[in-house]
Structure formats: C-alpha cells, structure tokens
Structure 1
C-alpha cells in the first residue's frame, strides 16, 4: 500500500468520524472569531492595535490605517470571510479566503518578531486543517480528475476517539509555544517596558537596552536596530 493510498484511507476514516467533525467545527468557528474583531475595527475606521507607533508592527498598522478606504476594504473582506466560515454551506469558500489572509499575517508577525506569533500560527494551522477537511469539495477546482484521486464516497459511522491525532494536535500546539520561546534571542515586545524587562536575562543586557532604545525612543527600523544589537560588543 503506497503513501497516497494510506492518506486516502485516513481521509475517508476521518470524514466518517464524529470527533474529526467536531474538531473541524471548532476550527471553523475559531478562525471566524479571529477575523471578526480585526475586521470590525477596520470597518469602523479605528486604529487596529494598541501597540505604540515606534513598535515595528505598530508602525506598520499606522501606515495601513492611513490608506483610507483600502483599510476599510480589508476589514470588510475579513468580516465577509468570518460570515462565510460561520455558515456551513459557505464554509469551504470561507476557508479558502481565510488561508491567504492568515498566511500573510503569519509571515508578517514572524518578520517583525511580534509577541503574538503563537496564536497567529495556531490560527493558520486551524485554517490548514479546514483546507484538508474540505479537500473532497476543493478537489473539483484542482487540475485532477476525480478518478485520478481515487476517493470514493464516505459514510459517517465511526465514533472512535482518535487518540493519536489529538495527541499530535497537542504536540503541535506545545511545539509552537515552546519553539516561539526560543526562536529569537531578542524581540521588541509590545511596549518599551516589555522590551526592557527581557534584558536582565539576555546574553548582552546593555546591548538589549540599546536595542529597546533604538526601537522605542529613536524610532529606527527593526533591521537597523537588530544590526546594531548583533554588532554590539558583549560585556565581559
């Protein structure tokens, strides 16, 4: 039995299992709820975040806020995506619309070393699960023939709790949380105080404080402050 056949059989088993369906519903609602607050704020024309303007991500949202009706357009798109996800009949379209948005946000927050990378990553993973869950419907827009995929109809018959799958989910959540903890040696934090509070445990506390000053007081770009931090001599 080749790998593709095993994946097909696993997919059929999952589609016929109530616990996988419950998890799909949980992910669908969770992703939708993540879009509603941000979309509503943008449609209302308010600043999206409480991050200070000199924070790298705060600076980005300040610029985005000044784009006028484009800012409103983004918010409307997020609200429409959330509504589509909440309605079972349109959830597939909602999942497809949400994925590029979440992928873009995830790359953005990692690039700017935002403290909220963990929750954003988990939302993207939930969205990815939805894409996989609706593959039996999405496949019709892919350049494959139904016969080529070899996916027959499934029946909802299993009530067995998928222990291995949910153990993997828990492991992935733990991996995201722990991995983000050690991914960067320094982050700007969400405020000047949060940035400087991490300096005592840094390998180079003085360079860390200079980094925070560079970000929040001097208002320099993240890459400039990171370059200065990396070139700073370490205290002996």
Structure 2
C-alpha cells in the first residue's frame, strides 16, 4: 500500500473528515432540492432574473420545454435524495457531477453573478468523488490491484488536518477573489446591478443598454464594448 492510500484510509476513519464529507453531502442536496421542486411545480427558475438577461433568456426557454423541464426537476430531487442516503450517496455524487459541470459552464459562459457559488459546489462534489475513491477506482479505465484497507488505520495527524482544511480555505479565497476579477464587465443579475459598473468601467452604460434595452446577445454586446474600448485606446495614444 502506498503512502497516499494510507493517508486516504486514515482520513476515511477520521471524524473531522467524516464530518466534512457529511457537510458536503448536505450542501449538495440542499442545492438541488429547492431548484428541483421549482421545476416540478412548473415555475420559472430564478424568477428575479430579468428575461433580457443572458441567463434569463435561457431560463425562459427552458421553462417552456414542457415535461422536459419537469424531468430536470425530478432528476435533481432524486439525485439530492440519493446523496443524503449513506448507502446511495456515491451513486448520487456520480449523477450530480455531470450536472454541476454543465451548470458551471453555463454560468461562466453567461457571466452569471452566482458563478462562484456553483464553483464551490463543483469543488465539494470533487471532494466527495475522491472521498469515495475506494469505489470509484473500479470504474476507472485501468487495472486496479486489489488492496485491502488496514483493519485499524492509524490516527490522522493534526498536521494533515491543518494542511487539508487550510488548503480548503485558501482555495475558497482564491475562488471568491478570482471570480471577482474574472471579467472586466458583466451583465449582472439586473439592469440596476449592471449600471453599477458605469462609474468604474468606461462604456459600461452602453453595454448595459445593449443587453437590457436593445435585447442583443451577450457576445454581440461584448464585441461592441471591446470595439469601443479599442477606439478609446487608439484615440488616447
């Protein structure tokens, strides 16, 4: 058994790590139950998001897809329940992973303000996949030697706990700070939120008009914003 596998089995028997895994399961389930119920009831998801917002266009179209919209909601609730039940939590995490990857790509593509929350959910899901490595490894496309876990794993040292949870806090700080500077400009969750950028970013008001008043796509508004920025730069030179 390699040292990494030894640490893995030590972590699996550690109460701090067990508590963290339980916390991650609760968070993942809590993220899908209300959103799934909204879809099952046939209500538009994120009702406060305007229809002329880039992500609002998507939610409007999705809510009009009939029983497909209901199907997504049922799938989300089932996945959440599977994650909450210890015996089926691994299956639930496996089903949750492609769904949260899709959601993350969607929110990054539309510059949604809630991107950092979805990124954290993706990281929590990745942790649970690693937490279930003893079962996940049999699904990987390479031969796995059969290794029996130790009957009595050694207690996990305080140093490893501090290193792990310190790395978690550092990663969360990186996500929060990094997503704050990820884009020069974004549509926000409303026209008012978008216009808050007008004093800080030249051309932001024209960008917001393009999104919320003219109803153009995010890509075309960004292209116009970048053209205006290049003209300003050229004139300044």
CA distance in 1 between partners of 2:96 and 2:152 (Å): 28
Listed as ranges, the matches of 1:147-226 within 5 Å are: 147=145, 150=147, 152-153=149-150, 155=152, 158=155, 160-161=157-158, 162-202=161-201, 204=202, 207-226=203-222
Shift of 1:234: 2.6
Q: Which residue of 1 aligns with 2:29?
A: 32
Tell me which residue corresponds to 2:59: 61
Q: What is the aligned-residue RMSD (CA, Å)?
A: 1.8
1:81-127 superposed Cα distances (whole Å, 9 cap, x missing partner): 00001101100000000000000000110011000011000001000
CA distance in 2, matches of 1:126, 1:193: 32
d(CA) in 2 for partners of 1:62, 1:154: 54
Q: Of 2, 12, 18, which aligns to 2:9?
A: 12
Q: Is the 8 A contact 1:27 1:126 kept in 2?
A: yes
Query: How many aligned positions are there?
Result: 229
- How far apart are 1:157 and its partner, in Å? 5.5
Q: Is the 8 A contact 2:83 2:93 kept in 1?
A: yes
Pair 1:96 & 2:91 matched: no
Scaled by the length of structure 2, what TM-score is found? 0.91
Structure 1 unaligned segments of length 5 or more: list them: none
Q: Is the 8 A contact 1:17 1:156 kept in 2?
A: no
Corresponding position: 1:73 with 2:56: no
Query: Using the alignment, how far apart are the partners of 2:52 and 2:61 within structure 1?
Result: 12
- 8 Å CA contact 1:32–1:82 kept in 2: the answer is yes
Partner of 1:138: 136
Q: Which runs of 5+ in 2 are unaligned?
A: none
Contact 1:18 1:158 in 2 (8 A): no
TM-score (norm 1): 0.92
